[in-house]
Amino acid sequence: MEVRIKNRNNEFIEVKKGKNKTLKFLYGTFIGRTMLKALTRPVVSKAAGAVMNSRMSAGFVKGFVQKNGIDLSEYEKSRFKSYNEFFTRKIKSIKRPVDKNNEAFISPCDSKLLVFDINEDSEFCIKESYYSTGDLIGDTEKAKEFNGGKCLIFRLSVDDYHRYCYIDDGTKGKSKFIKGELHTVNPIALKKYNIYKRNCRYCTFLETENFGEVAQIEVGAMMVGRIVNYYGKEDFKRGEEKGYFEFGGSTVVLLVKKGYIYLDDDILKNSNDLIETKVKLGERIGGKLQ
């Protein structure tokens, strides 16, 4: 499958056809799918997480940094005791300025973004699979409240910054964890499995000051130990860290109700052409409807 990504200057920064022989074997053959069933069990995922938290995993960091051209000078630390410590590294705040304008709608994370309209019968085409709003939040009745609104899908790849923030000032509403089998976010996987029905996800309803009620869903992936959200505090501020993903590719989804936001033209045009737009945490991607 071809993946096309543009930056905010409307320049293509990545056009590639993903060919992963391992994943083709796992998802495309009977033996592979049998193995996959074992690999996606929680006990295996926890074991993998333990390995990534071990000191021996720190040996993987140098090669990964070089291969993906990651500038560690942008981060608070440049030495790590484990791969997971590296993977969840914190960036210097100056490198991710948050747009504080109340009318600016910001990205919650570094990612590649696609936007879809929501209507009564809508299904979202995400890497060759289709998902209803009810599938994403695990509540068909609640999903009806988002008809006419927007579904924003932020895809994080392994080289992205894996911490995410709140998009506005507000108060937390209902939260719930939805269990599921863990599957990779690689496009090949989606030819065989519906990732959002198979993957675990954490859904939080946010009562925001400027954009109404927003549903934020963090989605885990194959071999991810967990989605780490911060608990105990009900009020939040724009740009405040909400949580982070441990090792693995992951996705953040925002559902916004009708009449609250508009998205920037480049993002809408790219999404209409199924081209992802590269965005950064705290960056303006749209605005508040008056």
Query: Which positions are catalytic?
Result: 110, 250
How far, in Å, CA of 166 to CA of 155, rounded?
A: 17
How far, in Å, CA of 259 to CA of 116, rounded?
A: 15
Q: What is the DSSP letter of 56?
A: G
Helix (H) or strand (E) holding 260: none
CB 220, CB 42: distance < 8 Å: no
- The count of C-alpha atoms lying within 13 angstroms of the C-alpha of 264, restricted to the half-sphere facing its C-beta, is 21
Q: At what angle do helices 21-28 and 30-39 cross, to 10 degrees?
A: 100
DSSP strand pairing (2-6 vs 276-279): parallel
Residue 284, Cβ neighbours under 10 Å: how many? Answer: 16
95 Cβ neighbours under 8 A, 6+ residues apart: 74
Helix (H) or strand (E) holding 196: helix 195-198
Question: Closest by alpha carbon to 254, among 289, 221, 286, 290?
Answer: 286
First to last CA, the chain: 40
β-sheet bridge partners, residue 229: 243
How far, in Å, CA of 190 to CA of 270, rounded?
A: 21
